[in-house]
Structures are given as structure tokens and as C-alpha cells.
Structure 1
């Protein structure tokens, strides 16, 4: 199908130039992004959500970056460095901003300029198309929610899967560029910069983006010259970073370590990704099948011509079929989603579906056949958009019944709320964690969580924050009583907010986002030395969970000779470096 986008904005009477400027998609994008700082000047309270402590990984990372640590070089990171640096930049400008909003919106420092480049190119020949690309981009970028299933019955904020959402938003920009940009130089710039961003947010995003670019190249939508320019600049930047810092090889080593930890089960993961995203995947298959049937004669003719009289142009005509595009984008999405828990899965179908609908109407007309294609396209896109709106509406409207968490040392981390009965349950459960510590220890020793949805439980997330707050008071009391000061603090848990909250330092080389079953490689000599030298290693015990226990078994042998284990609070033990107490 040949691209046939209506040129609705090429020539206008001069009397309409002012109105045209006011209706510019670039202006709307700029105004939307410019309004966000107003929401970061003060600390907004957001409803707490499942696995909300994922957000605080960014807090941990920002503090490490402020100390001069570099991801992959100075600490093991399960994803790329770009998201952490963007968060750090925005946090330094808006220290009162909510961490979840900063983490989610920080990507706009990259994605908004890239989307502006796409809109600038598209707006020159198709303003309505530019607006059609802009609206979903803003929807998915501004509302920090996932499109996936609920992990808890009550509505709350999606404080997890943030870097996965960022990848999906970047893939949306890439799809918009590949489907609609006409200027080869601007297209090359958009592809190169977006692929770099994908790589340094999460490597699987770059893999998925490569599949999309390959589809566009084979279809002739990504010209050879533009592809070469994009590839040369892409690899030049990578080479420069490697020569300057050795960052790329260190990042690759982290990825290989993750692959080794999570080896096996790729087919199972792809099937799981397909089942979790059954709606858009099935709708894409239906749309592709319908278009194959409706255009079979022309496509078979194109294949025959490419076989009998091969040329680049004829080969491109074979690959430039909506079924091929849909297949490639589906494969790209499944590759990326096979490694995810939560994201804005398959939102990058929006630009592709828009392109297919425009071209299909030109080829099929406005009859019943186009109606089938239209319904399939809407079945792909509408549920994703509705899901985001629904989740945000439920979370924010329901928050009017919530109470805000009270914290002494938590800074903006305390800006969360929940229904009153969750706070009551958190209090009661915390009492049980203290009174029946051995029971939870036994459950964990048997390789079980006390609740299968423990990390999703709102009361668990509340308890986690409250115990962090109490632990800081306990550490300060311990320091005052013993005349010591802990410069480096480690937390034997998923994330370590203590250095940020107490204005201390995190030890180097310790994994961030420490899931012992997925993202913590065996300690090497650097890690062993760093753990042995840490001033204080905190171990949370409310509750003792199998992930915490696994981390303790990993790190405790490295602390035994150099540290004494002491109680800090009823819910935190501390491994204190003996040399500090001996002074």
C-alpha cells in the first residue's frame, strides 16, 4: 500500500496564519510539558499502590549519582543509566516533587523533543495526522499508569514498571517516526536518538526497536541513506561512551549477568506475554488476516514481480504490506513484554494503526471491508487508552477517601495515602510481625511468602515506609548513644532509601533494585570488599520474607568477621562495623 496521507495543512490563506499557529501540535505539546513543573513545585499526595517501593529505586539511584557513582561501573543495575540520570536532573530542580511523578515525567526531557521533531515533520503535510499522533502520546506520557492487569483489588498508583512504561513511550515515538516522517535527515535523527534512548533505558527496548526499524527498512519507509546515517551516529555515540568511561562494556556485562541469572524459558515468557496482552495481539492478528484477504491479489502479484524481476523497489512493495508491519510490531512487542511485569504494552501500535487506516481507506474505499479493518484497529487501540483513563480515574477519585501517611524522616516519600482501614491493618500486621517473628522466619525458610500478594498489599507498602521512618530514628539514637556516625549505609532489602533520607552514602558495587532471584549476581571481590567495609548494614525483619532472607544469606557471611549484629528497632537489625564501636 502506498502512503496516501491527506495534505490538509500545506497551504492556507494568510488570514488564517495566526489561528493556525495557535492550533499547532508543537504548541500544544510545549504547553502540556510546560505545565508539569507547576505540579512538581509542591509535594502532591498520591494514593499508594502495589509494589510501590519500586519507585524508591530511583531515590536510591539519585543519591548514588550525587555521590559520583556511575551505573554499571560503580553499582550493578538491572536496566540502563538514562532513566536514573533523568530522574536525578529533575529531582535536583524540583526537590519537593513527588518521586513517582518525577520518575514518570523525567523521560519527557528526551521523549518530548523527539516527538516534537516527528510532529514538526508530519505537520508540514498533515496537521490532522500530527494531532492524531500527539493526543495518545500525551495521554500515555502524562498519566503514570500501566495498561496491564490489576495487582490489587483497590485502586492505587502504579509505582512499578516505570522504566517499562518509558520504553513503551519511546517505542511510540519511534513508530510515529517510521510510519509518518518524510524528510530523510529528520527521520535519521529521530531513529538514531530514539534508539540510543531505548538502549540506555532498557536493552530489550533497543532489541524491539531494531525489529521495528528493520520492518521499516525492508518496506522502503526507512531509506538506506537515512538508515546508514542513523547507524553510524548510533555506534559512534556508543564508541565514544565506551572510550570515555567504559560504560558500554560495563552495561553489557550487567546484561549478560542478568541473562545468566534468568536463563531459560524464553518460549514460555513469550507465551506469557502473548496471554497477558491477548486483546491487542489477537486484534492485530485479525486486522492482518483481514487485510491479507482484502488485498491478496495485489500482494501476490507484488511477490511474483519480486521473484521474477527482483529489485529493491519490488522487494519493498512485498514488505510494505500492513500484515507484515503488524507482524513485525507484534513480534517487537512480545520480545519486550516477555521480560516485564508491568508496562504500557503495545501503545506503539497507535501510529501503525493510524497509518494502516489511512492507507486502507484509500485502497479499499469506505465500504464494509474498510469497516472490518477499522473495527480491528479500534479493538487494538481503544482498550489501551480506556485502560489508562480508567486506572487513573479510579486511583485519583478514590483518593478523596484516603488518609495521608505521617512520617518524620521520609521527605517526599511520605506523600502517599490510603484508606483508613489499611493503616489500621498495617498497625496490626506490624505487631504480628514483631510478636511472631519465628513464624515468619519459618515460612520464609520454606521458600514461601506469608501472602502470595504480599508486595502488592497496600498495608505491606505502608508498613515498609513506616518501618523505614522508625529505623532512621533508631539509627540516630544509636549514633548518639555510642558516639558514632555512619557514613555508608546498606539495606539488605529490595531498595535502599536510607542514604538519601539521612544524607549519607550508599556503598559502591552493591546491586540496586535487589531482587535476589532475578537481579543480584553472586558477589565478586569488589562487592565482598564493599560489604565488609560498610559502616552499617540494616536488615528489616517486619516481616522476615524469603527475598530478604535470601539477601541475608548472600551478604551475612561477608559481614560476620567485620560487623556486630545489634537491634536498631523491633523491626530492624543492624550490622555495625566493629572498628567504629572500638573507637
Structure 2
């Protein structure tokens, strides 16, 4: 009887503790990653294959940004590679999405531990969005009408989540050495995830310093700790300097795209930007009105005003999204709104109603879109089918509509029979359809085509008694080194977008491509990107033997391999 009552007394505070539910969720995710799950494939799903390319390179001793170029920082690729070694059966997209929790979850534990037990409501208000945005692999913008999970924008989602955690710390942790170490860890992670996230985080940190939320002494401590950690990495393998050089290259390749992207962000996120801007004005008006009735000693520091924090969060959000295609935009406004909500409890009822209404417009649309996209995909999954992809290992753990699969299977004969028409379109700078890469039937076809290519490549190697030790693909993604357990060509870009990320051919890259045993050339369909990549690497592909593996794939064999 005594032990029963004691258990009930202990269980009640445990179940009402945010830290318990964070730990419970992490355990549940570990269990799910241990099983061979399948998920509905979505638009631009092949972006997730970039992580397999990077993980295979890391496993074979290559260092991101030193031995190969990346579209973003190296952290996400290391997290995925580590997760892949722990969960070999995991569904790829879920593993990629959830790998960020290796960093983000301990940081969130730190924030929750700082909150007093009486502030459990605040703890849950920041924890629930954190878990939804961390777990659900979906973006706020829809690129295709049918259900599916978003395999693109993953590092953008990771960056937004880290900024969410940073903002939680700045809003709810006391100025202390603990906050300094928290900021050092979070800012280091942001730098190694994506440089624009680091810059946005720097803006938030500067505002916190000016607002008096963190002292200059603790800022210097955070900077010293982060600098020491990054210096160790640089001395170990030169990754930081190489990363900075890659950033400079990407900036040079994309320098003319900033203004159009600002306009794109504003148009796409007007549903959040408009109410947030109105709320900034409302808060500023209320602060000015209140300042006349308060003594100067009772007034908050200018930079710690609610209107300033919301404006800074909005500016940082817009800046971050100028370099993103697919993301969970503006989610780090949530902690700011919670902080403001705690302040407006002492205001008039009418003001509280106005604040809550505008705050709901700022936060609920993003939350609802991410949750709806994911839950919709889960709901239809039982009606979907799994393509037969025995050669692709984990990449085959996808589901699709039966009619999409039939259409993709039809493309296997349609594209070779009509490729002249698609080549003519590509030479005029046009894709077979306006949003080819967003179309789920194309994503399914790519997997079917890749599966057949791997089968034919293995048959070729058996027939000729040769083994290609190194492999490269003249396409956006190259998971084949991982699928076949081979070396990947060094000194090239993974996630190869010839119009945004692939620079002109250097001597170092040329030598690496020339030394590659086999270069795979996809032909179904001919696209602008594939033609552009062939043009960039043309000089390094001279005198190769062309082997037609099948109507959709050629193998460009290094001279001297065939007897």
C-alpha cells in the first residue's frame, strides 16, 4: 500500500516534466530507426541521397570540404554517417531528418533543465514545437499536390531547428557560464551546418548582448570555447579553412541571386511576415504608451523590448530563407512569442486578445503545414505500394501510389524511344516538364532506372572480369559508390547543380576525374543539368571507352581497364 502511494506520488511530477517526454520521445525514435520502415516518396526526394554519397566518402577516409565540396557545412553529413553505422536498417529520410537530434536534443535538455519546475507550462510550450519540427520530415511549402515526405531542404530544416534551440536559450536561460557554453555549442553547430544560420544566430546573439541577456564576459567565454573547438578541428584535418574556401566559391557562383530571393521569401511567407510585422508595430505602440507611465528604472532595456526581439527574429528569418529552397521557415519566432506572452499577462484584456490573435497567425500556419504534410503521408501509406528495388539497399525503402509506379515503369521504355525530343528540349534550356524534379513519378523512375543500372553494371563486371574501384556520376546525385561499396571521385561537388554549386574544372578536379575507373552517364531523360555537367567535365573525360549498360545508362570506362 505504501509503495503504491509512493509510486503514484513520484509518477505524477515525472509525467508532467518536459524533460521526461523529451527523453521518452528519443527512446521511441531509436526504436523506430531499428526497424526497416518504408515511407511515401515525395518531391525532390533524391536530395536525401546526397547524404549517402557523403557518408560513403567519410567512411573511406575522405574529409568534407577538403577532399570533396559540399553545398553546406560538414556537420550534417557526419551526423548521418554516425547514425548510419548505428542503424543500418533505418529508413534513409527518417535517419537523415532525426540525426540532428544528436546535437539538438542535448541542447534542448539544457534549456529545459534551466526552467524552474513551476515553469513546466513554458517548458511544454517550447518542447512540443521542437519535437514536431525535429521529427516531421516536411517543409512548409508544397511542391506537389499528392502526399509524400520531403527529401529536400533537410539541412535548411536542421539549421532552423538549431536556431530555434538557440532562441530558446537566449529567451529562457539565465546569464551564466552555462549560457555561455550553450551558445558556444549551438553557434559552433550552426557554423558547421550552414553559414547563413551562423550569421542569423550571430544577429540574435548580438541582440541578446545589447539587451543585457548575456554579459560581455560570457560572450567572450563562448567565443573562446567555440574558437578553441574549431581550431582543434582545423589543426586535425584542415576542414574549417577548406569550408571557408567552399563558401567563397558558392558565394561567387550565386552572387546575382540575392534580390530575387528576398522577393521570393516575402511572397511565399507573407502569411507569417504580415501578421508578424503588424504585431511588431502593436508592441512598439504599446511600449511607447507604457513608457510614459513608468519610471525609467522600471522600463526594459531598449534592445530587450518585445517589439525589438520580434523584429530581429523576423529580419533573421527573412535573411536565412533567401538561401533556402524548402525549409521550416520562421519557426524560431515561436520562443520569442512565448517570451512576449509571459510579459503581456500584466497588460489589459483587450491587448492580450490582440496579441494572441496575431501570435496565432505568426505561429500556427507553419506548425499546421508541417504536421499536416507528414500526417497526410502517414495516413495514405497503407494504400501505397513499394517498388521492387533489390539492388539499392536502404534507398528502396519507399512507397508510392500504384498509378505513379505504373507511369514510372512506362518511362523505362518511353524515354529511350523518344530521347531525341528531350535532348532537343535540353539544348534549348528546357526540362521535359516545368517541375520535373518535383514530380513523384520522376523520383520513382529514377530509382527504377538506378536499380536496373546497378544490375547491368554488376553483370558487366562479371562478364569482363574487372572491378571498378572508383565511381562518379554525371548527375545531381551519386549514391552508387555507397550502393556498390566503392570509392567516390575526390575533389568534386556532391549534390552537383551545374548552375549553382559546380565551379569550372580545376586541374586538381581534372586529375581526379581522369583517375576515376568508371563514370556513369544517365540518358533518360536528357536534361539541362546533365548536359551542363557533361560540358563542365568534358576535358577530363577524353579517350574513354563508352559502354552502353542499357538504353538509359552509359559507362565511360577509363582507358586501359579493358583487356
TM-score bucket (shorter structure): over 0.9
User: How large is the Cα RMSD of the aligned pairs?
Assistant: 1.9
Query: How far apart are residue 566 of structure 1 and its match?
Result: 1.8
- Alignment pair present for 1:21 and 2:3: no
Cα separation, 2, equivalents of 1:195 and 1:125: 29
Cα offset, 1:227, TM superposition: 1.4
State the match for 2:315 in structure 1.
331
The 3 A distance-change label for structure 1 pair 474 and 315 is farther
1:342-353 residue pairs with structure 2 within 5 A? Answer: 342-353=326-337
Match for residue 68 of structure 1 among 61, 84, 104? 61
Question: Is 2:559 aligned against 1:578?
Answer: yes
Give the one of 542, 559, 576 matched to 2:541.
Answer: 559
Structure 1: stretches of 5+ with no match in the other structure: 1-12, 306-312
SS in structure 2 at match of 1:240? helix
State the distance in 2 between where 1:417 and 1:91 align.
Answer: 21
Q: How does 1:337-376 map to 2 (within 5 A)?
A: 337-362=321-346, 364-365=347-348, 367-376=349-358
- 2: CA distance between counterparts of 1:514 and 1:43? 29
1:377: Cα distance to partner? 0.8
Q: CA deviation at 1:221?
A: 1.3
Give the number of aligned pairs: 558
- Structure-1 residue corresponding to 2:153: 161
Q: Could you report, residue by residue, the CA deviation over 1:391-420 in whole angstroms, capped at 9, with x for unpaired residues?
A: 112111122221111112011111111111
Provide the C-alpha distance between the structure 2 equivalents of 1:15 and 1:560, rounded to a whole number of angstroms: 75
Q: Residue by residue, what CA displacement relative to the aligned partner does 1:9-58 show, whole Å, maximum 9, x if unpaired?
A: xxxx9995552234221111111001112111121110010000001001
1:473 corresponding residue in structure 2: 455
Structure 1 residues 209 and 568 mapped into 2: Cα distance closer, same or farther (>3 Å)? same
- Paired residue for 1:96, among 74, 89, 96? 89
Q: 2:513 aligns with which of 531, 534, 556?
A: 531
Following TM superposition, by how much is the alpha carbon of 1:223 offset from its aligned partner in structure 2, in angstroms? 2.2
| Aligned positions of 1:88-167 closer than 5 A | 88-124=81-117, 126-147=119-140, 149-167=141-159
Q: Give the whole-Å Cα distance in 2 for the aligned partners of 1:156 and 1:370.
A: 38
Give the Å deviation of 1:429.
Answer: 2.5
Q: TM-score, normalised by structure 1?
A: 0.93
CA contact (8 A) 1:218 1:315 kept: no
Closer, same or farther in 2 for the Cα pair 1:43/1:15, shift >3 Å? closer
Q: What is the CA distance between 1:281 and its match in structure 2?
A: 1.2
Tell me which residue corresponds to 1:403.
385
Give the Cα–Cα distance (whole angstroms) in 1 for the partners of residues 298 and 197 of structure 2: 30
Aligned match for 2:29, one of 36, 43, 53: 36
Mapped partners of 1:203, 1:435: distance in 2: 45
Give the secondary-structure state (helix, strand or coil) at the position aligned to 1:390: helix
Q: Residue 372 of structure 2: which of 382, 387, 390 is its match?
A: 390
**C-alpha distance in 2, partners of 1:168/1:571?**
39
What is the CA-CA distance between 1:299 and the residue it aligns to?
A: 4.5
Alpha-carbon offset, residue 557 of structure 1:
2.1
Q: CA deviation at 1:489?
A: 0.7
Return the match for 1:508 from 471, 476, 490. 490
Q: Does 1:417 align with 2:410?
A: no
My pick for the range that moved more, 69-78 or 279-288, is 279-288
Determine the structure 2 residue equivalent to 1:443: 425
Name the counterpart of 1:519.
Answer: 501
Unmatched 5+ stretches in structure 2? 1-5
Q: Is the 2:33–2:87 Cα contact (8 Å) retained in structure 1?
A: yes
Q: Does 1:266 align with 2:247?
A: no
Give the Cα–Cα distance (whole angstroms) in 2 for the partners of residues 145 and 236 of structure 1: 35
Contact 1:123 1:130 in 2 (8 A): no
- Matched with 1:289 is 281
Query: Once the 2 structures are TM-superposed, how far is the Cα of residue 239 of structure 1 from its aligned partner?
Result: 2.1
Paired residue secondary structure (1:404):
coil
CA distance in 1, matches of 2:117, 2:201: 26
Q: Match of 2:3?
A: none
Match of 1:200 among 192, 198, 203: 192
CA shift for structure 1 position 225? 2.1
